[in-house]
């Protein structure tokens, strides 16, 4: 592992522990050349998942894109970063567990919205407004009506 300070390749592991619900190992390392300590993560190698975008182009799935979208939609909202990580982990697990080599961006957005709706409804509307590309207020209001009707149904049960 290359030291981020001096670029030496000789380092020793100081501490190891599980990370990301035991799907990764977090290692604290110390460079034997300059003594700098740094953290590395070891993940299971996963087969690539290809995302088919709305315009038909294909690109490799990047969980960071989901997390970044969630962070933006939850700005100034009482939603912790850990919750956003959990949503991202759940969505990625669901996509990989389904076993498809390719998945549409629409399906990914639906999974994210289903998770986000139960965490924070304002953030859900923010995410949906960008994801669904609302053209006017009527579309936004129709989406909010859907949330309200689901709330009323769950209150009745």
What pLDDT does 153 receive?
53
In a domain, 155, yes or no: no
What pLDDT does 129 receive?
77
Number of domains in the chain: 2
In a domain, 115, yes or no: yes
How would you write 60-123 as a 3-class SS string? ECCHHHHHHHHHHHCCCCCCCHHHHHHHHHHHHHHHHHCCCCEEEHHHHHHHHHHHHHCCCHHH
* Whether residues 134 and 73 fall in one domain: yes
* Whether residues 72 and 113 fall in one domain: yes
In a domain, 156, yes or no: no
Residue pair 55/62 in contact (Cβ under 8 Å)? The answer is: no
What pLDDT does 156 receive?
54
Domain that holds residue 97: 50-141
In a domain, 151, yes or no: no
pLDDT digit string (tens) for 84-135?
A: 999 999 998 888 888 888 999 989 998 998 898 889 888 888 888 777 766 6
């Amino acid at each position: 592992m290359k030291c981020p300070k001096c670029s030496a390749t000789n380092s020793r592991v100081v501490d190891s522990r599980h990370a990301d619900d035991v799907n990764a190992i977090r290692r604290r390392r110390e460079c034997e050349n300059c003594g700098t300590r740094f953290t590395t993560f070891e993940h299971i190698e996963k087969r690539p998942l290809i995302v088919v975008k709305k315009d038909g182009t294909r690109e490799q799935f990047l969980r960071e894109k989901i997390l970044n979208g969630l962070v933006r939609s939850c700005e100034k909202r009482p939603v912790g970063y850990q919750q956003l990580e959990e949503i991202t982990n759940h969505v990625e697990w669901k996509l990989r567990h389904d076993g498809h080599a390719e998945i549409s961006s629409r399906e990914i957005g639906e999974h994210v919205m289903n998770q986000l709706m139960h965490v924070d409804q304002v953030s859900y509307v923010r995410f949906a407004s960008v994801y669904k590309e609302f053209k006017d207020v009527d579309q936004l209001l129709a989406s909010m009506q859907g949330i309200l009707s689901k709330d009323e149904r769950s209150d009745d049960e």
